[in-house]
Structure formats: structure tokens, C-alpha cells
Structure 1
């Protein structure tokens, strides 16, 4: 069951005060498998922002506190670094590549959601891939049976939006397929967008699953699209520019957008590379207090390293440039993302007993340039870089 909005942002704060103290179960005297030592732990789910050690045993967090007195065969020296719950990217396309899951893990992403790369025709192979990956992967099934078609648009032929095939694909892959994706840009759907969206809801409803819809330059106006969404559905590419974005002609947030948020529709950043955001909409949204609930990359493979995406820490850094605190940004790639999709409900936190997914980041000071999808540039003073990752209690390979 989805949480209300006040509880959604920084859930479990009440329990966080107790868990921020040094704590370990009766296993205190036992050896740990790994300890991350001396980093600045920032965990919005627990209300923690301070220097702590994090101890791991048996694939779980067993202690978080100052100067933990325990032995471990492996340690990570995180002094001068940030230690966060494992990052969750709820919109990428890691399942498009055999080594995609391992590549996003190099970026500190311990859990990910493939955003509709595959429809009913390819979802079984994708499910096998993510189940064998080193990190926790889940899938959205594309309402178009052929999945993403960047050349012709997968929904220009409406017969490809086959509800029965989508339902059968979900039923075969319950637990791995956790929602339905529909891309609603005009070059994908033409005039079919609203009907494609209705069919996506038909496919998802019997299973109680959410939709993720991709907006930006749609055929139909955004209010008509939003009217078909239910609580828990996710709108990605929230800062996509006109036509039919979140702003009215005077640059104000549309009232229908605010209404959708009030009734429980979630909004995701979805950086991407093609027409998914520009700095003007980004700045106007931030200045009006309309921030995304979650931050994601829309990562599509190694080529993303050479675009304005780079990796999830780089995308997070764009929000630091516009005044969000570290805690605000980290919440949007940990606890908020975990609450958006139930499959990640035990992730996004360092609480004792949680799976030991941990990301260590380096926050560098300097002059850094950040691009939108239109080659617009903004300069920031801080940028996050992946430093080390622990997934399932084991130290993962790092990017060099």
C-alpha cells in the first residue's frame, strides 16, 4: 500500500533516532564480514547525517554507529567520503545489454528498474537476464509487444498494444515484472497516445501494478493524459519542454499537475538524452517548488557515459547545483525510490537487518559543467562520483 505524501518523503524518521546510535544485536562479539569505516553516513530513511561506521554480516546490515568495535576480514576506508544506502535507479535500460546490470553497478546502483525496454515478445529473456545479475533488477513491460522502437515508434500501430499479451507476460514473470511502461511522445504514438494509455491500465489493473508513463511533446495535452493515471503511477521526464509539458503558457505549473500529485501520482526526473529536459523547465520547476519524487538516469548503455547522463551520481549532482541539500538528493535515489515500487521496499536504507547494499560516493569541489538534452550548460561547484559499492554484503568491482 502506498504511503501518503508526508510519510513518503523521509519515511521511518521516528525510528531513525534510535538506530543512529551504535547498535548491534547479540552478535556484537562476533566477527563481521565487512565494515565501512569513518564515512559521512547520509541516510534520510533513518534521519542520519554524521560520521559513522557501517558493519555487515551475512549479507545484512548488523550495526551502524561510531567506532564500531568488531573485526572484519574486509574494510572500506570511507574517511572523507559519503556513505549512503545503495542507490536505486528506477528508470534505466540496463536489461538491454548482457552486461548492463554489472555496468550500472559500477556507478553505485545496487537496484534498478528497466523502464520498458521489452514488451511481451522479449520480456522472458529480459527476466532471465535480470535474475542472473549481480544487483537487484526488475522490469516494466512495455505495452507495445515489440518494446522500445526508437526508429518507427512502437505505438504508431495500435495493434501492437495488445492487452492480453501484456497480461500473459506479467503473469509469467510475477515478481520480476513490477509495472507497465508506455511512452507517450508524439513520435512514438502519433494520435494513439490516450488509447495506448488506457490499454496499459487494462493490462496493469488485474495485477494491482503501477504504470510508468514517459511524457514530452505528446500528441494530446498533458491534463488529458494525467486524468487517466491512478495513485502510484509514475510520470517520468517531468521537466520535458513544450509542447504539452508540465508548464502553462506563462511558465507556471499546470493545476492538473499539482492535482495529480495530491492524489498520489509520482513524478520522476528521467534525465535521458533526447528532448527529455531543458534547463528552462528544470529551473522553473525547482523555483516553484515542484521537485521530482525520484531522480533517475534513463541510462541506455556505455554510450551514456559520453552524454549528459554519465551516471546516476552525475545526474544527482545537477540538483545540488540548484540548491537541494545532500539529504534531499539522496532521498530521491534511495528511500523515495524504494517506496515508489514495492519490489524495492526493503532497500534504500541502512537500518539494521536490511540487505547490505551500500554506496560510497566522493563529493568533489570545483567547477563542473552539467548539460541538459539541448546542449544547454549550467556550472556547479560540486559533483558526486562513485567510489565503492557493497551489494548483498560483498564489495563490488569499482570503475577505473
Structure 2
């Protein structure tokens, strides 16, 4: 039988979120119902509320989540009731052209639940990133559940479901940061600090944090930044070059998603260096670069989708690093809040007062 639980929706563009009753159906073939234990408040959820993703309102918000599998549908074998899982929005299909080429982290046909969660009047909900986890229980495709160590703290490891994985993977998977590399990260929110932590863990010897907020730069040092630059008062490109013997960084990660910061990243890298865009731009943004500079500098200009992660490979590894004390996921959790506090968390996000607010259920 279906269940009725409490969840947070965005009913209309720009309107405050609402805590309402949500109807969750029993899992069908290939699906699972997960009892959500914690879910981070990500900027992507705010994008949904503001209509920046699409206009398929009402949205069931939340996607950076961890919880316990309550029930599974027919044909599900990878997880079972009682498993502690992190939810992901890349449930690889194993059959598309990316998977067939042995690159499942690019899967072009990822799965979501077939059935819809609804309001009590039958109105279908659009779950954020195919998850929808500001809710006591959620329905997902079973492939969106990645089993990890039960002893891990849900509020911390749930953040691997989006922002932290995106940043860490941008450095390690997309940027290929290795021992002895110099790395600059522009934008030191949750994603940028995860990139800093990833670069440090991967063996980078110089990790340069760039932001306009001294509070964020102080946080960046906690995650492994060896140098900081406030680009409000300093020329970021000149300072990065000065810190890298005049050459520029081997890898520059842009975690803001704006033309001006991308241009900084482009000019702050060494010859044959790599630029990684992991910040999410809006559809109207454009950038213009001299084509001779694109050619003459060589290297690579990359975009990082979800940190080019493979959840079944990367989530357990990062949880192990966390459990070993080598990756401080707890440091990303600024505050733990209730399910009715999401709107206030958005306000704090706007003010730059938090890395992550985490809803604990």
C-alpha cells in the first residue's frame, strides 16, 4: 500500500517552499523506497525553486541524501531492506553508448523511478534530480541507491550525493590531479572546498583557493588550501602565476559558473594545463576567448558532470576515506536543521553563512 509522509515542495516559481503531505507508492519493478535520514540543502534545490532548471512544478526538493532501504520492487538484487545507502542521480544503465564504451560515469540514459510520488489530491511531483529527498521516505530507481558502511554519519556522507562528489571528482576524476601538481580552485563554497580536499588528498603540493569572501577562504585552509587569494582586492591570475613560479597552475577548477571567473581560470593555467568547469552557469551566459589563445595554450578545457563519478566505485571509497579520518566530511556540515527549516536555509545560503545546512529526519 502507498504511504503518506511529510515532504518539502516548491509549488511555483519563487514562492516559499511548503511542508505538505506526500503520497509515496510501493516500489514497482526496479524501484526502492528509502527512509531518508539526512539530506543536504544544495544550491541546485534553490535553482529548482527559482525555475532555473525547468518549469515542471511542483517540485519535490532535496537530493543530497542518505538513508535506509525500506522496501524494494521486483527484480532488485543490488540492495535489500535494511541497507544503508547514499542516493545518487547517476544510476547507470549499462547499455547506452557511453556505457558500451566502458565510460559509465558519462551514462547518457540514467534511471529514475517509473512511478510518481504525488500530493494527496493526485498531483504528480517532479523530484529534484530524479530523487526528491526533503521527505521522510522517497521512491527512487534501485540503481540510485549505493550501499555504504552503516557506521558512517548520514548527515555527512549524504553530501556525496551531489556537491561534495562534484567537487572532489572535478579535481580527481576530471582534472586528473596527481602528486606534485599545482591546483587553483576559484569559488570556495561546498563544491570548491571539496575540490580543494580532493586535490590535497590526490597529492597536489600547491593548492590555491580563490574567492571574494575571507570567511570562505578561511574554510578553504581547513580543507587543504596552502595559499588563498581574495580576488576582490587582488588580481587572481597574477597572484596564481606568482605562486607557481610565473607559469600558472597545472589544473584550475572553476566552481562558480560565471564567464568572468572562467576567463580567470583560462588565463591562470600553465601551458598544456587543464581547466575544469564544475560551477553551473545559467542558460543566458556566454564567453568570448581569442581562438589563438585556445590553440596556443594547448592543454584541455573540460566540463565536469557530477565530478565524472561512478557512484558504485566512488561513494564507498570516499566513505572509507572519511571513516579513516582522511577526508573530513563532517566539516562540510555547518548546521543540522529540521524538515520545516528549508526556506530559512535558503536565506542563509544566499548570505554565504553556511557551507551546508543538512535536514535531519
Same fold (TM over 0.5): no
The two structures have a TM-score, normalised by structure 2, of 0.29
